[in-house]
Structure 1
Amino acid sequence: MLTPNVVSHTTVRRSNLATAPNPRTSARCSSCAMRHLCMPQGLATDDMPKLEALICSARSVRRGEALYRAGDPFDNLYAVRSGSLKTVMAHRDGREQVTGLRLAGDPLGLDGISTDTHSCTSIALEDSSVCIVPYAALKHMCRESGTMQDRLHRLMSEQLIRESSQMMVLGSLSADERVAAFLLDVSDRNGQRGYSHAEFNLRMTREDMGSYLGMTLETVSRTLSRFQKRGLIDAQGKLIRIIDLEGLRHL
């Protein structure tokens, strides 16, 4: 999926993370800056306290730390509160493939619903935090609230659509088109979160980008350099500035 928390804008206000490993704090949806992305629309006023009681806590995930690993028992869904994470699946021969990128407001953990175990690993690309949603309690609330049930179904549908879009990117686009589609997706998602469409920090390594886009590290680097020479972008390390948005769209 061309998604997610891949990016952290240079002006993003980040939560103060505690120094203890995996600290947990209370999480309040009503005060979260990303609630417009993950909260169900039309939620009844008296359902808000129930939802905040359901989301028992927020957890910090340090850069490089796994939120969960493939094969771990599935108990919770998560919503990215700040930062960014990637999802990774392992091939039978041990090679790893980056399969998803999660930004603030994006869900995590839906892969575990079908078998009660996670099929992929989720790793923080930077110091991040996630809201913890116990799945058993969420199912109970969905039975009581049609709005919550509809939101869960929409999240599942959105993930299917994003995965289908990613298959199209890998299967039918050239290297230039793949990188352009990736940058445009990050730009669009950044805008949805109230940040700049044109300037952002990519927290993924070039190698991760290549894995996600089905390209080699060298091809990713050459493509970004070519875009810079053509005046489409300005890339200074992880900082990306899109100069010609329409030019990227017409590649």
Structure 2
Amino acid sequence: MKKLSVKMKITLWYTGLIVIILSAIFTAVLLATDKVLLLGVQNKLEEEVYDFAEELKVDSNGRLRLEKLDFLKDGVRLAVYHENGQMITGLVASGLPETPFADELLQKAGSDQQNWFVYDFYFKPRHADNFYWVRGTVPLSSAYAERDKILRQCALFFPLLILLAALGGYWITKKAFRPVTRITEAAAQISSGSDLSKRIELEGADDEIDTLAKTFDGMFARLEDAFEAERQFTDDASHELR
């Protein structure tokens, strides 16, 4: 089995670290998304209930004017009840169990199949003689659908980020090891005796590898001088012997 190169090992370590970081981010997104989205649903529900209550008016006979009201806003179902809890008009979520009224208190109701947020507001319209309940309901499935959408996007983009990280890590590692390749090539040429004048001559690096290259250049220069001195000695000796 062929051993992995140092460049590949560093790339794998780098990619593994990215995978761990992205996994932690994915987990944090998963844990935080529910809370953020549910809080957003809660705020939207309360806002729609208050806005709807402001729209309720009474006629000259003290009766509610309901003909121009919108009972479905941004997924929130709205309904109006008498003070005793008897429904006057509006939309009620299908399957919603009977839930007692509670003024400005967020309640969660439902079953194993579906859950809702329920929010009630007890108020008296201007110029009215009686108090009324405004109830808003919103299914939690809307928040979960948004969460699933976010998670699908994360699942789509995270592999792409990992691939880009791996390619980027390999490119950076290859670029960082380029001086090492030059050192190896220079040492191989000098070792074979084909070119004793070969030098690495790194420029602008000014790091540990640059220091190593300069050390090798100094060693190569001394080797060249030693070979030249040996060659000169051999030539002189041959001349004297002749």
Query: What TM-score does the superposition give when structure 2 sets the normalisation length?
Result: 0.18
In terms of fraction of residues, the more helix-rich structure is: 2
In terms of fraction of residues, the more strand-rich structure is: 1
Query: What TM-score does the superposition give when structure 1 sets the normalisation length?
Result: 0.18
Return the structure number with greater relative CO, CA threshold 8 A, min gap 6: 1
Asked which structure has the greater CA Rg, the reply is 2
